[in-house]
Chains A and B, each alone.
Chain A
């Protein structure tokens, strides 16, 4: 079985580098599945879970703000942050979720809706991956 080398890189250092059989992720334009031998591609990723399918298990990563670069035998994901389920602080993510929700519900003029929305998405994504 052919494999792809996947490396996930963030400003705080590389998170993961390993070979997998398939990468599926959510780009801004929709779901993407990458198999070995894919044509070179660059796509921005949405705040979402990236699934890396290996020999007999699937790894999941919570990726926030970034893009992927695909080559026939290599996938590089560049993200501002990326976490494996074991790295995720569930309590913190839950707190962030409640905070963002409260902020979105409080109908004040001086809050940054876009930022709160993004924070909420990040928190939900983290909780989703951690499960």
Chain B
């Protein structure tokens, strides 16, 4: 049986760990609510841009754009958003698993796809599995600005425009609630689901013409989708981290309870033994 000192040492160190994890839980909680606000702030922009896009798509013009057309797929692009660090439960592994499975199902050779990684975990995973990486960004702020991601977003859209990739899929964790995040994969390019989004049917004048509006609007739309996904996955990251830290704190608490019980038992056993020894000694003297 472990000595009293050993057990006391373990209790103390577990208590310290619990302090840290519960502090991290609170930090994540506040980051999460901030991230939620960011997502809300972004909403009017994305709604409006979608509305205008839908209007143009629904209008009876023959304006076309490569970003709206399906072309033969020679190379696919996968944009994967992960966290920069661990301590977030299954957050990273879920999204990477989904990515890996999709790649295994759809592609035979490495020339058929490329990966754009946001976040260190995704980048390192691809490095380790020797998957081709076209672009990557690590060390994104917890509350990212549009400026942080703009370069990557426009370069990614550029890859499509230059026909280096013929489609683009996104993999990220969608924020459902504080305790639930869902791995989501969505096709970003070519843009296909515009008609469904509907919107008000006012007839616009286009200045100078629809074609030029599309040239400006479509890349901006695609970039905004990437930014939206990033905000969404940042919110899930903080939520996942909060949940992970909460369960770590709970586990530490349970461990401390168990250890305290053992500690008391050992202490009692020692006392009992001492008394037995004393009374044994007294009995021997009589």
Residues of A within 8 A of B (CB): 7, 9-14, 27-29, 32, 39-44, 65-67, 69, 71, 76, 78, 80-81
1/0 contact string of B33-71 vs chain A (CB within 8 Å): 000001001101110110010011000000000000000
Q: Tell whether A69 pairs with B207 under 8 Å between CB atoms, given A14-B41, A44-B212.
A: no
Residues of B within 8 A of A (CB): 38, 41-42, 44-46, 48-49, 52, 55-56, 145-147, 150, 202-208, 212-213, 216-217, 220, 223-224, 227
**How distant is the Cα of A43 from the Cα of B202 in the complex, in angstroms?**
15
- State the main secondary structure of chain A at its contact with B: strand
A13 touches B42 (CB 8 A): yes
User: Ordered nearest first, which 5 A-B pairs have the shortest CB separation?
Assistant: A13-B41, A43-B207, A11-B146, A44-B216, A29-B208
**How distant is the Cα of A28 from the Cα of B215 in the complex, in angstroms?**
12
B203 touches A78 (CB 8 A): no
**How distant is the Cα of A11 from the Cα of B226 in the complex, in angstroms?**
11
**How distant is the Cα of A106 from the Cα of B269 in the complex, in angstroms?**
83
**How distant is the Cα of A21 from the Cα of B144 in the complex, in angstroms?**
35
A27 touches B146 (CB 8 A): no
Q: Which residues on the A side are within 8 Å of B41 (C-beta)?
A: 12-14
CB distance from B152 to the nearest CB of A (A): 14
A78 touches B202 (CB 8 A): no
B145 touches A12 (CB 8 A): yes
11 residue pairs bridging A and B, Cβ less than 8 Å apart: A9-B45, A9-B48, A11-B146, A13-B42, A14-B41, A29-B207, A39-B205, A40-B202, A42-B56, A67-B52, A69-B48
